[in-house]
Amino acid sequence: KQEVTQIPAALSVPEGENLVLNCSFTDSAIYNLQWFRQDPGKGLTSLLLIQSSQREQTSGRLNASLDKSSGRSTLYIAASQPGDSATYLCAVRPGGGSNYKLTFGKGTLLTVNP
Amino acid sequence: EPEVTQTPSHQVTQMGQEVILRCVPISNHLYFYWYRQILGQKVEFLVSFYNNEISEKSEIFDDQFSVERPDGSNFTLKIRSTKLEDSAMYFCASSVSGGRADTQYFGPGTRLTVL
């Protein structure tokens, strides 16, 4: 059974700092991995998707990497801003193509202080 | 930019009552999903739906749950006889193709409170 773990559970940084959020998963047979952002009481906003054959994806100040064989992904946020404060979730989709469910980690609560 | 929408945003019901949660997926998407998040816990998969049938479901999705696409735009989740432990945020999601590059887009959620 796939398990997804995110470390740290919470992170507080001053504005402008670069930071890394970690995600690990127990079964390396994944189809893809998605990073989401969740604001309090709100839905999930997709940030980046990395296919199993890819090593990284970039969108603006965000860069996500994937090391499938070791079961790890990182989300790098450059020059953090107070508006980046949210919970960041990592989710993996199992391999095979006919399984659609995403398995989520519990998230990292990020606070960026002005 | 197209979005997944969900109604109502908050539903309060008595234990044992039936509830229907509604979703309008993004218009050109073909795959639809329901997830839930109990307060303080992980987001959990419930069911996926394609071509008017369930393609995958979790152990949570028992006989009390059902899904339907009653017309070309709506996708619903019905809970027949709600229990206290069904209290959660329910998210609808949709995606285009189900392929390797397929992003699942989530709606804002319906908070279900069972009293």
CB contact under 8 A, B100 and A53: yes
What's the pLDDT score for residue B97?
A: 85
The per-residue pLDDT for B3 is 92
How many A×B Cβ pairs under 8 Å? 63
DSSP label at B75? E
Beta strands at A4-7 and B31-37: parallel, antiparallel or unpaired: unpaired
pLDDT tens digits, B14-58: 999 999 999 999 999 999 999 999 999 999 999 999 999 999 999
Q: What is the pLDDT of residue A41?
A: 81
Q: Is B49 on the interface with A (CB under 8 A)?
A: no
B35 touches chain A (CB under 8 A): yes
Q: Which chain B positions have a beta carbon within 8 Å of A99's beta carbon?
A: 56
pLDDT of residue B101: 82
| Inter-chain touch A43–B101, beta carbons under 8 Å | no
> Residue B46: its pLDDT value, please?
97
Q: For testing the chain B interface, which of A101, A103, A109 should be mutated: the one with the most B CBs within 10 Å?
A: A101
Does the distance separating the beta carbons of A32 and B102 come in below 8 Å?
yes
How close A78 comes to chain B (CA, Å)?
A: 23
Pairwise CA distance, residues B91 & A46, whole Å? 13
Tens-place pLDDT, residues B60-79: 999 999 999 988 789 999 99
- Please, which residues have CB within 8 angstroms of residue A56's CB and are 6 or more apart in sequence? A50, A63, A64, A65, A66
CB-CB contact of A104 with A4 (8 Å): yes
Taking only the tens of pLDDT, chain A with its 114 residues reads 899 999 999 999 999 999 999 999 999 999 999 999 999 888 899 999 999 999 999 999 999 999 999 999 999 999 999 999 999 999 999 887 668 899 999 999 999 999
Can you give the C-alpha Rg of chain B in angstroms? 13
- Residue A56 to residue A50: CA distance in whole angstroms: 7
What is the end-to-end Cα distance of chain B in Å, rounded?
A: 37
- Would the CB atoms of A99 and B101 count as touching at under 8 Å? no
Residue B91: which of B20, B5, B16 has the closest Cα? B5
Position A72 scores a pLDDT of 97
Cβ within 8 Å of residue B43, ≥6 positions away? A44, A89, A91, A102, A104, B35, B36, B37, B91
pLDDT score of A80: 97
pLDDT of residue B99: 80
Task: Closest CB to B100: pick one of A52, A103, A106.
Answer: A52
Residue A1 has a pLDDT of 86
- Predicted local distance difference test score (pLDDT) of residue B91: 97
